[in-house]
Chains A and B, each alone.
Chain A
Amino acid sequence: MKEFLEGSRAVAEAVKLCKPGVISAYPITPQTHIVEELAQMCADGHLSSQFVNVESEHSAASVVLGASAAGVRTYTASSSQGLLLMGEVIFNIAGMRLPLVLTCANRAISAPINIWNDQQDSISLRDAGWIQLYAQDNQEAMDFHFIGYRLSEDHGIMLPTMVCMDGFILTHGMESVDVFAQDKVDAFLPAYTPLYKLDTAEPISMGLLADPDYYLETRYAIHDTMKDVLKKLPVIAEEFNAKVGRDYKDCLVEEYCTKDAEKVIVAMGSVCGTIKEVVDQCRAKGKKVGLLRLITYRPFPYTRVYEALKDVPKIAVLAKAVSLGAMAPIAAEIKNAFSGKKKTPQVISSFVAGLGGRDITKESIQDIIRKLTTKEVAQDFIDLKPELLKESYGG
């Protein structure tokens, strides 16, 4: 049924339909509305999950880790500083191969404190062993939770999924979304059957000491399973597309006007909506511009990216995150996709924009297209204000 919902509310409805046994979260802007809504559903008796109130994000992540280890479907959500406070447990959850789903309402990282959107928080946790999916709109933010649980709980995968949605832009934006009937979700997402669980009748220990004789293999196994994710996710996405009438293709990347394009922008998240509009305007004027939208960032779909971009001469990579002192995260991945390959683009230019919620407008995108020439741009910060910068300290 179509409903006009705020992004956070839409995600809460999706989580409700997934029927998690345990939810635990600590409020942080811009994630708050999601867990506030879920707490309300539990209080009103519309959702029979156990909602555990905790004193910090570290505890919230620990509660869902424990509950997931005990064999139930679990859910949590966070943002920014909260996600970083979870950091230690985030690595543990993946290391213990627990298939929970977390929503990251993407927000900038302190200091200076900033509550607005960029993608530094989730990108900073890219090496944790989580599958990361980036939503472009509220419908995707909803749907990726169903796909996420199905993928994570697959007995060949058993890795957690982080559904990333841009803070405020999506979480607080109202859009028309399709909310499924419960039986439709149940047909796609069966009840969770744990592969291993903490059980007093058949005791096992999880997350124990692994000395140098064992640790390396635990990491190798996750790395190898990530390759399986690249095969499994398209199969699950195809089934989802067929069952509910969506068109997420393989759910790894979305190719928008890339086939004959001379210039392609690579980006992920909600900014792709803006880029598509600019692409349409350029195409109307006869300019061959396109967009490659990354949906799955971890595992990184190198082969799909190579296939999609191998005939494109000029590529601009737009990131809403930085790796201070090095190339921006997504640009480094895209360059990597072409290393040692026969076909390589003339230029792969790296652009950083929208940090701390600075609006990425259609003009910002036009600026990127203008700067994407035969001369490669090492790292350009779009819409930078030089008047705020001084060489020496001035208060």
Chain B
Amino acid sequence: MFGPLTVDPKKSKGGKTGAWRIQVRPQYLQKNCIACKMCVLVCPEGCVSGKEKNAFFTDYTYCKGCGLCAFVCPKKDIVMVEEKNQEEKK
């Protein structure tokens, strides 16, 4: 008898890390953004996108909710808010 033993390798997009989020998620206010891109650079999942001011956003399919983007934002334009719906994670 065999249990789960081997897996086929997937690209990193296969690992939907959004499921790891607990309690909080980042909210991009898009009010005082200066497009410094610090949030893009610091994100360990590389799931923050945007080019113009007040137009940055994250992909919640992969966002683990670590809070680094909110921590690094010089304009406090990203805030961590309570996770409302578990379903939204996926």
Q: Which residues of A contact B (CB under 8 A)?
A: 96-97, 158, 196, 203-206, 208, 210, 214, 217-222, 224-225, 228
Overall SS of chain A's interface: mixed
Chain B residues with CB below 8 A from A214, complex form: 3-4
Q: How many residues of B contact A (CB 8 A)?
A: 9
Cβ of A99 to closest chain B Cβ, rounded Å: 13
23 contacts between A and B (CB under 8 A): A96-B5, A97-B2, A97-B5, A196-B5, A196-B6, A204-B6, A204-B7, A204-B8, A205-B6, A205-B8, A206-B6, A208-B7, A210-B4, A214-B3, A217-B3, A219-B3, A220-B1, A220-B3, A221-B1, A222-B3, A224-B1, A225-B1, A228-B1
Closest 5 CB pairs of A and B: A221-B3, A217-B3, A218-B3, A224-B1, A204-B6
Of B1, B2, B3, B9, the contact of A205 (CB 8 Å cutoff): B9
Expressed in whole angstroms, the Cα–Cα distance for A218 and B1 within the complex equals: 9
A386 CB, nearest partner CB in chain B, Å: 50
Q: Which residues on the B side are within 8 Å of A158 (C-beta)?
A: 2
Nearest chain A CB to B25's CB is how many angstroms away?
22
Query: Is the pair A205, B5 in contact by a Cβ cutoff of 8 Å?
Result: no
Judged by DSSP, the binding face of B is loop
Q: Is the CB of A204 within 8 A of B9?
A: yes
Nearest-CB residue, chain A, relative to B5:
A97
Is B8 a contact partner of A203 (Cβ separation < 8 A)?
yes
Residues of B within 8 A of A205 (CB): 6-9
Are the CB atoms of A203 and B4 closer together than 8 Å? Answer: no
Q: Which B residue sits closest to A197, measured CB to CB?
A: B6
Nearest-Cβ distance from residue A209 to partner chain B, whole angstroms: 10
A-contact bits for B1-43, CB 8 A (1 contact / 0 none) = 1111111110000000000000000000000000000000000
Q: Within the assembled complex, what's the spacing in Å between the Cα atoms of A205 and B15?
A: 15
CB B7 to nearest CB in A, in angstroms, measures 5
Q: Tell me the complex Cα distance, A333–B9, Å.
A: 42
Q: Which of B4, B6, B7, B8 contacts A217 (CB 8 A)?
A: B4
CB distance from A93 to the nearest CB of B (A): 13
Besides A206-B5, A224-B1, 17 new A-B residue pairs in contact (Cβ under 8 A), listed by A number: A97-B2, A97-B5, A204-B6, A204-B7, A204-B8, A204-B9, A205-B7, A206-B6, A214-B3, A214-B4, A217-B4, A218-B3, A218-B4, A218-B5, A220-B1, A220-B3, A221-B1
CA separation between A150 and B4, bound complex, in Å?
A: 24
Chain A residues with CB under 8 Å of B8's CB are: 203-205
Question: Which residues on B sit within 8 Å (CB–CB) of A97?
Answer: 2, 5
- CA of A218 to CA of B7, assembled, Å: 13
Instruction: Report the minimal beta-carbon distance from B8 to chain A, rounded to whole angstroms.
Output: 6
**A214 to B7 alpha-carbon distance, docked (Å):** 12
What is the CB-to-nearest-CB distance from A392 to chain B, in angstroms, rounded to a whole number?
52
